[in-house]
Amino acid sequence: MKLTIASRSERSQFILDLTGSPEDVTVETVQNEITKRYSRLYPARQRLTTEKGVLERGKTLADYGIMDGDTVLFKDLGSQISWRTVFLIEYGGPLVIHPLVYLLPSLFYGQNFEHSWMQTVTFWMVMLHFLKREYETIFVHRFSHGTMPFRNVFKNSAHYHLLSGINLAYWVYGPWNAAGTKLAERSDLLIYGCIVLYAFAELSNYHTHVTLRNLRPPGTRVRKIPRGYGFDLVSCPNYLFETLSWLAICILTLSWSAHLFFFVAVGQMYIWAVKKHKMYRKEFSDYPRGRKAMIPLIA
């Protein structure tokens, strides 16, 4: 069969000669044939669409009603980078920035001083959080999308490197919060309470990530309704528990920098949660109606 590949942006097109019928030819076959013609256009860079939407790997042309002689629109998505690599870069920023600021105060503040208990506890909370995220990226997460445009890595990393990295580290670990200062005074009850809330939230967040991982067999894009711990209340308990984790840090530090990151991060997670919640309800007719997106009983 013949298939016309048309590029809307470049106003050019070419014809592929494909072996088989629309019932036999898969989207992967079309992508591989395009790569053979233009080696730089590897499959992850390609987006193929018709009026019915984006063509998904694993399906045939017949699934989209594409017949011999039809036209498919093509877009070059640009150089790609794996989502796993993106996450490693994002979370790696704070893991470098926080130790530098915490361990080398003379470099950033022009003086050495003894850190307060509040600063030390906060340091380990942040480090353990991002070490956990790196571990999950390597050993837990299964990604529905393999890659993203390389240019986006800078925008994505800025959120973590600037807000939860430089912004949080500089203002929390400064001499104004050092041992013996009034700003650093915290009751034992407050500190231990924050540690308990943080530990509960981090462990619960990890549990939900494992639950999501177990829903998708390796190498597939299978989607199922998540159930169990946390999921009986909201569609995205992982975001709910991460919110509680950063809330513990906000309460502990009482720093405007922590609150700034908190509101930006929670706002973004809420947007993601609402989008995923709507997707679940659209995709699954039996999706539990009582669930909210991210905040139990509210939203």
pTM: 0.84
Question: Residue 17: which CATH number?
Answer: 3.10.20.90
170 and 66, same structural domain? no
Residue range 21-49: average pLDDT?
Answer: 90
Cβ atoms within 10 A of the Cβ of 134, count?
A: 15
Report the percent of the chain where pLDDT is more than 70. 97
Question: Are both 117 and 63 inside the same structural domain?
Answer: no
- Does residue 73 sit in the same domain as residue 95? no
Give the span between the Cα atoms of 287 and 224, in whole angstroms.
10
Q: What is the pLDDT at residue 218?
A: 73
Give dist(CA 94, CA 89) in Å, integer. 10
Tell me the per-residue pLDDT of 176-205, one tens digit each, with 9 for 90 and over. Answer: 999 999 999 999 999 999 999 999 999 999
One-letter amino acid identity for 232?
D
Confidence of residue 299 (pLDDT cuts 50, 70, 90): confident
Which residue's structure tokens are 């340091």? 123
Last residue of a domain, one of 60, 78, 96: 78
Instruction: Report residue 293: phi and psi, to 5°.
Output: -75, -50
Same domain, 187 and 151: yes
Residue 216: per-residue pLDDT: 80
Contact 118, 180 (CB under 8 A): no
- What number is the average pLDDT over the span 95-109? 97
Closest CA to 128 of 203, 191, 207, 212: 203
Each residue's pLDDT tens digit, 257-271:
999 999 999 999 999
How many residues are there in the chain?
Answer: 299
Residues 268 and 163 grouped into a single domain: yes
Confidence of residue 151 (pLDDT cuts 50, 70, 90): confident
d(CA 173, CA 94): 14
- Domain coverage including residue 24: 2-78
| Greatest mean pLDDT range, 31-35, 87-91, 125-129 | 125-129
Asked if 126 and 267 sit in the same domain, the reply is yes
pLDDT band per the 50, 70, 90 thresholds, residue 239:
very high
Residues 260 and 196: their CA atoms lie apart, in Å, by 23
Q: Report d(CA 124, CA 259) in Å as an integer.
A: 18
Q: Is residue 126 located within the same domain as residue 236?
A: yes
Q: Considering the domain boundaries, does residue 291 fall inside one?
A: no
Q: Which SS3 state, helix, strand or coil, does residue 286 take? A: coil
Residues 36, 181: one domain?
no
Tell me, yes or no, whether 289 lies in a domain. no
C-alpha span between 194 and 253 (Å, rounded)? 10
Confidence band for 126, pLDDT divided at 50, 70 and 90: very high
296 occurs within a structural domain: no
Cα(257)–Cα(289) distance, integer angstroms? 37
Q: Could you give the number of structural domains in the chain?
A: 2
Tell which of 51, 78, 105 closes a domain: 78
Give the largest Cα separation in the chain, rounded: 79
DSSP H or E stretch at residue 136: helix 117-139
The pLDDT score that the predictor gives to residue 220 is 66
Same domain for 272 and 149: yes
Same domain, 176 and 221: yes
Q: Write down the pLDDT at residue 181.
A: 96
Residue 147, pLDDT above cutoff 90: no
